[in-house]
Structure 1
Amino acid sequence: MGDPYLLAVSLLSGGQIAAPPPPVLPPQPDNLLALWHSSESSTFEPLVAQKIVPTIEITSPEFSQQLISQTNPFQGTDTLTITTALAPTAAQAAIELKPSVQAKLKPDTATTKPASGSQLFYQRLAALKAGKIYTRLPVDSFQSYWANQAGTKALALQKPSYEQWKRLLAKEARAVSQGQGSNRLSVLVGDSLSLWFPQERLPGGSLWLNQGISGDNSRGILKRLSAFSQTRPDVIYVLAGINDLRQGATDETILDNLRQIVRRLRQEHPRSSVIVQSILPTRINTIPNRRIRNLNQQLAILAQQQGAGYLDIHSRFSDVEGNLRVDLTTDGLHLSGRGYEVWQSALQQAESVIALNRNNVRADNSVKRSRLSDLSGLN
């Protein structure tokens, strides 16, 4: 089975799939940038074939040519947006994960998944070279290309540049745009918080495209939105601003950039729901959480004015003093595994609301068509 067929096969399943055999890649190169350069060749471009290879998955083949040829399910409907804040109810807040008094700021100890940006980069690159998208694979996929193996020479992983990250994300987006078919697609856009969202915690029911880059700010995100402009997302989740605050940007600059981001996304994806997520609290003294709360109030207004949705995740992560809960972070800024569980819960709630709205829109359109049909039969 050749590389061009594999992405389509991997996207057939409703969840993660078993790790594939290692692709034909440079055998343990000392300089793994050779893997990157090999992906730049013209032979890497056609990731999705016209023919779909049979799969042993028990789910129906969503990427059949019949479904690919179907029209967009949102054709003829108004733009789907969420205009109310998606915040946890009092009951949900009461059962939310409780802060642990004994919790300490320490990183997760999992060893079977990438622990650095370089490891994650080469894992995703290897997956893409094999015709797969990493969000559909187990976290330990392609270990031989990024993890140090006992008794073997340590891999010399060169740190990818910001430009290389942008190109990798563009390649993943291009692959998804060619292989999406009639599948629903959700996109995460942001910085390291989005980048490190565990693929096994992404809500089911749709494909996921992760467009997060570590250290990126709102201006950088604005400049790279075109990377996934050819995709057809149902939902785009935006989280940005914390790196702006760390880099000394003014509130006005942050809000202006996010306003432009939302406008661009609404223009390029008119049938997508654009969801602005609130900036998370921190435990960093140089970033007052009072300022973050004020920015979030402005973001909620901005989202409403621009026809986007607003997802309040800040309240889920705050302790009684307004700081980032100690059990949800590794260093006072980035999230722990429990932190991503809380975020996962928020995304699942948002996905449910969006699906309900979509079904209501379709039901309304069906009623309208039925009424028009009844009228056409009158003399």
Structure 2
Amino acid sequence: MSSPPQWYLAMSDLCVLAASLLVQGKTPGWKLDVPPRPIWSALFQPRSDVDRACESAAVSDVPAPIRRPEFSRSVQAVAASSLSQTLPRPTTEAQRYVQRLAALQAGKLYTSLPTDSFQALWSRATRQPDRADWVKLLHYEAKAVADGQGPAKLSVLLGDSLAEQFPVEQLSRDRFWLNQGIAGDSTADILQRLDSFDKTRPDAIYITAGISDLRKGASNDDVLSNIQEMIRRLRVSHPGAQIYIHAILPTRLEAISVNRIRRLNYNISLLAEQEGARFVNLQPAFADPEGRLQAQLTTDGLHLNRRGYQVWQKTLWPLS
């Protein structure tokens, strides 16, 4: 008998997760939480152990198999035409996490779907995922993309919460998008998981990082050193990709001085030029006359609202 295709091996690891989602959905008064630790542990066990887990009585009645990732242009076109500013969307980290898990279990990439996809699941999400949960989710999304990309163009969003929360309807539809953002990640954190998407073949990588470093007390030298290491490693693992380093956005937080962000961005721009990356200066589009983040572009003085992401989109897409 011939061996199963590569996409099946990649996605079948999620059978335990799929069963967990479906079984939880049958419980009276059910609220979808992040899958318990044993679920994620099972995903990283040897194949024979995972197979035994998937064949157990607890999951034997799951009706729908894991499907092949739908990475076709037609799927993206349908998703794009369905998107609307009025569609419901996940608004919390827990909801966004569950939506992405559900999409992956269904063999889909969440960046190619309407914003209200799997609403019946994510609307009830209550439990906050931790960083380890996100790291593993991003790993599996990257693995699915690596197996299903084919000749299509691919862009990667890499960074912190600004990347993680980027609205899917504002992503260009001429390519696939892999979101590798995790809220709160510093440049050092990003370096630790940089190999997560090594097997993918992006033509562009957009990096937004640094503000979490400043909030956690890192020095400017730490930020610059980590960004330099990031660029150098990405150039080795993805020699065909253009790397874009976005300026650290201004904030409205008193604890982070305007002048420090300006000085750091100037040094990041020099570093990017030195390392063969492109620096994307976001300051003119986002700063008010005092150099702070414009109030109408932010939800809390740090994160962007929908209008803020629209401004970012206008600076981003001419580059692609």
Cross-structure match for 1:26: 23
**Residues of 2 paired with 1:167 and 1:243: CA distance?**
21
> 1:317 touches 1:328 (CA, 8 Å); kept in 2?
yes
Classify the secondary structure of the residue corresponding to 1:182.
coil
Instruction: Kindly indicate whether residue 260 of structure 2 is the aligned counterpart of residue 291 of structure 1.
Output: yes
Classify the secondary structure of the residue corresponding to 1:115.
coil
Cross-structure match for 2:109: 133
5+ residue gaps, structure 1: 9-22, 60-108, 149-154, 352-379
**Residues of 1 paired with 2:139 and 2:260: CA distance?**
33
**Residues of 2 paired with 1:121 and 1:241: CA distance?**
23
Instruction: Kindly indicate whether residue 174 of structure 2 is the aligned counterpart of residue 205 of structure 1.
Output: yes
Aligned pairs for 1:208-223 (under 5 A) are 208-223=177-192
Instruction: Kindly indicate whether residue 244 of structure 2 is the aligned counterpart of residue 243 of structure 1.
Output: no
Instruction: Kindly indicate whether residue 291 of structure 2 is the aligned counterpart of residue 315 of structure 1.
Output: no
Q: Aligned in 2, Cα 1:270/1:336: closer, same or farther, shift over 3 Å?
A: same
Q: How many residues align?
A: 275
> 1:186 touches 1:208 (CA, 8 Å); kept in 2?
yes
Classify the secondary structure of the residue corresponding to 1:231.
coil
Instruction: Kindly indicate whether residue 116 of structure 2 is the aligned counterpart of residue 147 of structure 1.
Output: no
**Residues of 1 paired with 2:72 and 2:132: CA distance?**
37
Classify the secondary structure of the residue corresponding to 2:253.
coil
Cross-structure match for 1:173: 142
> 2:34 touches 2:128 (CA, 8 Å); kept in 1?
no
Cross-structure match for 2:91: 115
CA displacement 1:91-123 (0-9 Å, x = unmatched): xxxxxxxxxxxxxxxxxx978211111111011
CA displacement 1:310-354 (0-9 Å, x = unmatched): 111122101111110111001110001100000111111111xxx
Displacement of 1:32 after TM fit?
Answer: 3.3
**Residues of 2 paired with 1:272 and 1:221: CA distance?**
18
**Residues of 2 paired with 1:192 and 1:57: CA distance?**
27
CA displacement 1:281-305 (0-9 Å, x = unmatched): 0000110011101111111110111
Q: Aligned in 2, Cα 1:264/1:222: closer, same or farther, shift over 3 Å?
A: same
- Which amino acid counterpart does residue 32 of structure 1 have in structure 2? D
- Which amino acid counterpart does residue 26 of structure 1 have in structure 2? V
Q: Aligned in 2, Cα 1:336/1:300: closer, same or farther, shift over 3 Å?
A: same
CA displacement 1:202-242 (0-9 Å, x = unmatched): 12211000000011100000110110010000000011000
> 2:204 touches 2:244 (CA, 8 Å); kept in 1?
yes
**Residues of 2 paired with 1:274 and 1:139: CA distance?**
27
Displacement of 1:245 after TM fit?
Answer: 0.4
Q: Aligned in 2, Cα 1:35/1:123: closer, same or farther, shift over 3 Å?
A: farther
User: Highest Rg: 1 or 2?
Assistant: 1
- TM-score, normalized by length of structure 1? 0.67
Instruction: Kindly indicate whether residue 231 of structure 2 is the aligned counterpart of residue 230 of structure 1.
Output: no
- Which amino acid counterpart does residue 146 of structure 1 have in structure 2? W
Classify the secondary structure of the residue corresponding to 2:23.
coil
Q: Aligned in 2, Cα 1:222/1:34: closer, same or farther, shift over 3 Å?
A: closer
Classify the secondary structure of the residue corresponding to 2:22.
coil
Q: Which has the higher helix share?
A: 2
> 1:316 touches 1:342 (CA, 8 Å); kept in 2?
yes
**Residues of 2 paired with 1:307 and 1:261: CA distance?**
12
Q: Aligned in 2, Cα 1:147/1:297: closer, same or farther, shift over 3 Å?
A: same
**Residues of 2 paired with 1:54 and 1:319: CA distance?**
42
- TM-score, normalized by length of structure 2? 0.78
- Which amino acid counterpart does residue 132 of structure 2 have in structure 1? E
Cross-structure match for 2:81: none
Instruction: Kindly indicate whether residue 164 of structure 2 is the aligned counterpart of residue 191 of structure 1.
Output: no
Q: Aligned in 2, Cα 1:54/1:284: closer, same or farther, shift over 3 Å?
A: closer
Displacement of 1:272 after TM fit?
Answer: 0.6
- Which amino acid counterpart does residue 289 of structure 1 have in structure 2? V
Percent identity for Structure 1 against Structure 2: 42
5+ residue gaps, structure 2: 1-6, 12-19, 44-49, 55-64, 78-84
CA displacement 1:22-63 (0-9 Å, x = unmatched): x983352546344882883457x98647xx99997697xxxx
**Residues of 1 paired with 2:286 and 2:273: CA distance?**
23
Cross-structure match for 2:314: 345
Classify the secondary structure of the residue corresponding to 1:25.
helix
Q: Aligned in 2, Cα 1:53/1:168: closer, same or farther, shift over 3 Å?
A: closer
Which moves more between the two structures, 160-169 or 311-320?
311-320
**Residues of 2 paired with 1:158 and 1:25: CA distance?**
17
